[in-house]
Structures are given as structure tokens and as C-alpha cells.
Structure 1
């Protein structure tokens, strides 16, 4: 790990490290050594869990530990998840909560003035992804209607409610149950809406 440059992570709070390997035969040692070298106060890990899996106990604990002024530190971006949408939403959520983020291998460090741009870029990408989903959904429904296809009974939730609900769950940290209550639908209906729109749920 001596070849890696470890940026100075200046925070008022704690440095919380997170490491993950997707298969049981991979080693966490490289990630743990890097996080220790970055002077993390506490390190959480998931072993044998894929990046695409919604529930990751180690990451859940790490996120639950973080408070304003802390920094989440990983060796590489893909340790947080293999979905760019998930990464974008998670980083937007951290930024909204006043939590810094540092990825050692990519040199991303939001405790620096230049690093703060990262949150703006990921926020823009997350919004772009939702715009694409919105446009594809509207065009798809219009095309189906033009073909005379039977669309089934009307959905309880429109695409705008689904996208906004997903944003509140993934970027603001509101529970699915609370969002469903605000939209006056059941938990199951909202979850089905996310699935229908192709929106993954992580944290």
C-alpha cells in the first residue's frame, strides 16, 4: 500500500472506514491496511457480500455511526456499490447530512475545497438518471397507447411520485413507510412502483 497517496483528511469529527469484499475467498487485508494508514478511528466491514446487495450490515452500521462533521473513508468507490445510481444517491445523502467522503484510490476528498465539487457532480448525475427514467417511462407509455396495447388498470402512483419518493428514501434517508404514508399508499405499493420504474433500493 506504500504506492498509494493518502490525502490529509481534516475533519472536526471521526474518520469512519468501510471495507467490503464480495466473495469469501477475497482478502480484506489490503483495504484494512489502507484505512488504518488513513488513520480511521473506526472501521466497519462486510465479508462475502456483493456490492449490489441491498442489505449490508457493515455499511448499515457505518452509516448509522456517521454524524455531521465525520468522514466516510473507503479504499475504492466500488466498495460502496457497483451501481452508479446507488453511489450518486448515497453521496448526495452524505453531503446533505454534512458528512465528508474520501476514496483513497481515486483521490476523492470532500474535506478539501476542490473535493466539494464531487458532491455537486454526483447530485447532477443522480438527477440526470431520474430524468432519463422519467422520459423513458413517458415515451414508453405513449408508444404503448399508440399501438393500442392494454395498459391494465391505472397505477396508484405516477412516475413523478415514484421518482420523488425514491429520492427521499435514498438521498434524504426517510423510510419507505414514511414516504408511503405521505403519498397515501401502502408500503407494498410504493415498493412495486420503484420496481416498475427500475429503481433499485439500497440505503
Structure 2
């Protein structure tokens, strides 16, 4: 049933690692992959060549994401990777074009991907090999990132392009807005006798 060759022996530990990790919670899974203790990795995440993945503190990886670190992958602190996002650091395109897509082909190309600190990568995003995403960048869901993304920008689309640039003053105004709204909602929840002890805003209808 199982092959007894070099490739099978090389892949088997990765397969077993992924299987065992499905029975862990998100914090346990992150530490199982050797990531910082403050990181969270959700269910069904696939990490290719985890030894080549460098991840900062307080990162979050959503369900079903596939992180290809075979060509080198660096993710800065406080960055979130959305669910079902795909990050590629290698390509077999030339091997396909020349009918040389066999195991061990010397036409596999690898280029590292670097994602900065404080980034928000939405769900269902595709990031191509060789891309650098600057600090505090936002990638909207369903985008395909084929070129570098400048710091403090919002990009979207296929191919992704810049739609907005923001500075620290804009971010601080948004922080103030959200904290004030969350405080208003918690106060209303307490008046209604609801539990407002959780993090962020309590759920429910708080329109006046």
C-alpha cells in the first residue's frame, strides 16, 4: 500500500505532521510548527517546508490557508493571513511548458515572499512568488498579488492595485472611532443586562 522509496520517506513526516495538527487548538498548532507562542494557526492550514518559514509574534493564520515556504517565506509581527489564502514561493510553469514536470525537475523556480509587520491579508487571496508586501498593508479578499505592495496601502483586485494610502493619523482616527463605538455598545449591553465582558464589541443590534 505504501511506497518504499526516497520521495515517500521524505514526504511521510510532513503528511503525519499535518494529520496530528488537526487534533490541536490554534495555539498548540502554532507551537507544533515551531512558531512563536503568541501566534495562532487555525484548522486545515498547510505549511510546505515549515523550516523555511519565519513568523513574528502575534500572527494569525486562517482556516484552510496554504503557506508555501519552500522558496523562503517571512511574515512580520501582528500580521493576519485570511482563510483559504494561498502564498506561493515556487513555480512549475516552465516545467509544464517544456513537458518536464516530473519529480525532481530542474526547472522549478523558487523566489521568496516577504510580508511586513501589521499587515491584514484578507481571505481567498493569492500571493505569487517573489512578492514583497510592505508594513501595515491591507490586501482585500479575493485579490491576486503579483507585484510588490507599498507600505501603508490598501490593494484589491486581479491583479491587485493600490486603491488607498493611509498614514498614522488616519489609523489613529480609526482607532478612536472604533474604541468609542465599542464603549457605547458595552454600556448599552450592560444597561440591558447582557454580558459585555468579552473582547471587542458585544454582538447584537445597538442602533438607536
Q: What is the TM-score of this pair, normalised by structure 2?
A: 0.24
Structure of larger gyration radius: 2
Structure showing the higher strand proportion among its residues: 2
Higher RCO, 1 or 2 (CA under 8 Å, sep at least 6)? 1
Q: What is the TM-score of this pair, normalised by structure 1?
A: 0.24
